[in-house]
């Protein structure tokens, strides 16, 4: 098992290092396509830019699809201000409190990449006496470019325009005690787990009972990632996303979380029950929880009108949509649950 966990962490670091806010995901999709080729699987891009890989099973008419998303939160230039600094609009649930003082990259459409920092407007505490009282929103923070620019015209000369993507550093670290700290563990950690599961099946020469599709979506953070591209023979979808950790929930970073209900309603009772049974059978550390403010890829698929059973699992992740934290235990338990449930 250790070699698959090592592979998962390698892939997680590679995926996290690729900037990919919703709508700006070509590089990460190309990376996945190449990795599936290395693993010996066929994959293809969906029209929306996601990646679909197929792992043939013993039977073809009762397939399962595993969803993970590789799009992340981010920003977009909404205005070049008169002082040459940038006002941004959030992509997905990015929170200004979580990116203040963080470094970022600005990807222009035609003129390269620039670096900057997200700062409170008038950010010097020795100058701004109201520093502590100002609510952090995307109206009160700005991107300060690391270029000599002091006017709107100066910044435009760099090739920066409205609609350019602003991508924040993941700042990934793995501690000796096994904790994984990074932005965008939601959901690149689970995407890496799916790659690890595919590698496990290939190297252990295991053919699953059902055909398994792995669908890596690229618009989950804005609500329509898995609203299309469902193969005809799929009867069940299991979203593999971050598991919630917080007050009132049982899950920690060490368990695989089995979601019983989120803001979209309850997950299919048969699937929830079968996942818990599989976890108990294999002595896997798990927690079953209700997520109060959450929606997954599988919610989008259901709302698009598809007819199937659905579930949601993932490694416990603390401080979601901020500087997130998980643990190798949660990764291992998620991989083991996939193996047991799809055995």
Catalytically active residues are 220
CA–CA separation, 169 and 75 (whole Å) = 12
Chain Cα centroid distance, residue 19: 11
Kindly report the number of other CB atoms within 10 A of residue 131's CB atom: 13
CA angle 51, 64, 301 (to 5 degrees): 65
DSSP 299-327: HHHHHTT---EEEEEEEEEESTTSSEEEE
Find, among 321, 323, 311, the residue nearest to 286 by Cα.
311
CA–CA separation, 134 and 131 (whole Å) = 6
Kindly report the number of other CB atoms within 10 A of residue 258's CB atom: 24
Please list, in sequence order, all residues whose beta carbon lies within 8 angstroms of the beta carbon of residue 216, skipping any fewer than 6 positions away.
29, 32, 50, 51, 52, 53, 68, 69, 70, 191, 194
Tokens of 96: 């200004």
């Amino acid at each position: 098992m250790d070699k698959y966990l090592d592979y998962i962490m390698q892939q997680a670091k590679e995926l996290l290092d690729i900037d990919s806010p919703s709508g700006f995901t070509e590089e990460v999709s190309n990376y996945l396509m190449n990795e599936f080729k290395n693993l010996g699987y066929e994959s293809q891009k969906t029209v929306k830019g996601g990646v679909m890989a197929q792992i043939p099973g013993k039977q073809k008419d009762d397939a399962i699809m595993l969803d993970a998303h590789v799009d992340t939160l981010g920003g977009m230039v909404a205005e070049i201000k008169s002082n040459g600094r940038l006002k941004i609009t959030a992509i997905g649930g990015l929170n200004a409190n979580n990116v203040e003082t963080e470094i970022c990259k600005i990807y222009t459409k035609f003129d390269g990449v620039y670096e900057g920092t997200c700062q409170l407007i008038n950010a010097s505490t020795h100058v701004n006496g109201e520093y502590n009282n100002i609510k952090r929103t995307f109206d009160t923070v700005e991107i300060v470019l690391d270029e000599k620019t002091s006017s709107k015209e100066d910044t435009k000369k760099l090739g920066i325009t409205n609609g350019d993507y602003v991508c924040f550093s993941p700042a990934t670290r793995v501690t000796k005690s096994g904790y994984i700290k990074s932005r965008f563990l939601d959901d690149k950690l689970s995407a890496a787990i799916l790659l690890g599961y595919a590698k496990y099946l290939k190297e252990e020469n295991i053919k699953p009972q059902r055909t398994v599709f792995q669908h890596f979506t690229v618009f989950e953070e804005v609500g329509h990632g898995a609203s299309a591209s469902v193969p005809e023979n799929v009867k069940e979808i299991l979203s593999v996303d971050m598991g919630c950790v917080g007050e009132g929930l049982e899950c920690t970073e060490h368990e695989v979380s089995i979601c019983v209900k989120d803001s979209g309603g309850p997950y299919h009772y048969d699937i929830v029950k079968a996942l818990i049974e599989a976890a108990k059978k294999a002595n896997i550390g798990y927690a079953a929880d209700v997520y109060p403010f959450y929606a997954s890829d599988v919610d989008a698929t259901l709302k698009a009108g598809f007819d199937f059973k659905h579930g949601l699992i993932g490694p416990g992740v603390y401080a979601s949509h901020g500087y997130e934290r998980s643990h190798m235990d949660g990764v291992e338990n998620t991989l083991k649950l996939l193996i047991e449930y799809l055995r």
